Amino acid sequence: MKDLTTGKEGKLILHFALPMLAGNVFQQLYNVVDSIVVGRAIGKEALAAVGANFPFIFALISFVVGIAIGSTVIISQYFGAKKMEQVKRAIDTLYIFMFFAAIAITILGILFAKDIFRLIDLPADVLPEAVQYFKVYALGFIFFFGFQGTSAIMRGLGDSKTPFYFLGGSTLLNIALDLIFVLIFHWGIKGVAAATVIAQAAAFFAIIFYMNRYHKFLDFHPRRMRFDKIIFRKSLKIGLPTGFQQTFVAMGFMALFRIVNMFGTSTIAAYSVAIRIDSFAAMPAMNFSAALATFVGQNIGAGKMERIRKGLIATLLMANIVAVVISVLALLFAEPLMQIFTKDAGVVEIGKHYLLIVPLFYMVFATMFSINGVMRGAGDTMIPMFISIISLWFVRIPVSWFLSLKFGAIGIWWGIPVAWFVGLTLAFTYYKTGRWKAKVVVKEGELR
């Protein structure tokens, strides 16, 4: 556990963000390895099927993840205020919610998977494999939520290193199982999904064992857990806007996928690869933002408002330096990066155009996320929700659709930076008003 209320702001945020970043790199390797094995060992149809699952899976988990983010803010503010009994209650409440949410989402996803893929006009040669992949993958939701919930709890308490270690081991296991199930057992796309489920289960059980043995305070014992309605309402107050934001973003990705699907299997496969690469580029900005949110939460809980501005400046500097480096690498190695995933020349060419456009604007994305991190840490999640909805649904989707009619798939890619510029402008404008400072959840002197 790490107290972020004392010490040099930039150093604290960097040290807190790095393990999260490394952990998320490993987490993204789940999907990347899946795509590489599928693209090179099975074919572009299977590669497109795995890619088509991304927005659907994101849509299913996004609302629950948003609520978990709300719980993390509650935990970090209680921890900063040294209210340890409330910290434990918040942890129990989060676990109970995540368990029942995972069961519900698994059932709903399996029942409606085929209908959803048809709704987004997935090509007939991709649809069967997309459904097969999802039905196996969905069996791991309960382990995914369990691990994500535990990671969120530890981050709220200032410990971003422990989840990284278990996630790293899980990723290595996933890679090994991918190779065994596909190249040796020839299970195809089902084998790729099964490898991910097993790896996620291993990560969850391992971190729970560690937590119970070395952090008795966290004490994961289902029979002794108690659901606190008051704390859950506070979590919902913060988490619902984030949950709705994540859901609208996920639905937006599905709408974008519908536009991409208009251009056929090769474009779907290329987009699937490009967004995998793009996700690595986005991770530093997202993790610096998450670290800043925890930093802001603890310092607001401790009543140290003067540290927040310094923390934001340090985060902006670090996030943008990383964004510039990643942009240069993506632009220089666009074609070789695509060739890692597929041998299909048509897919490589389409994906290369994406990587020659979007990385030019990673600094815009990094700045936007950093500013939003301040608001989320303060508990003001409503405005970031509206900003995301406006920039995605009222800018990115219409612009991508309009430009795709005139310029083809390249037009879809240009809609992305346009939306980022709008999102940054709105986020910065609201930050300057200072209204987010009035959204603190844990008030000084509060007993619960």
Q: What would the DSSP string read from start to end of 275-321?
A: HHHHHHHHHHHHHHHHHHHHHHHHHHHTT-THHHHHHHHHHHHHHHH
Q: How far apart, in whole angstroms, are the C-alpha atoms of residue 272 and residue 55?
A: 10
- pLDDT for residue 447 is more than 50: no
Q: Would you place residue 1 in the very low, low, confident or very high pLDDT band (cuts 50, 70, 90)?
A: low
pLDDT of residue 2: 66
Q: Region 54-73: what's the mean pLDDT?
A: 81
pLDDT mean over 163-188: 89
Q: What is the DSSP string of 6-29?
A: SS-HHHHHHHHHHHHHHHHHHHHH
Tokens 């939003």 found at = 372
Which of the 8 DSSP states describes residue 223? G
pLDDT at site 445: 47
pLDDT bracket for residue 441 (50, 70, 90): low
Which residues contact residue 215 at a Cβ distance below 8 angstroms, ignoring those fewer than 6 apart?
none
**Domain positions in the chain:** 15-438
The string of pLDDT tens digits covering residues 362-421 is 999 999 999 999 988 888 878 887 898 899 999 999 999 999 999 999 999 999 999 999
Mean predicted confidence (pLDDT) in 300-306: 81
Contact residues for 378 (Cβ-Cβ < 8 A; gap 6+): 296, 297, 300, 436, 437, 439, 440
Give the global pTM: 0.76
pLDDT digit string, tens, across residues 116-135: 999 888 998 899 999 999 99
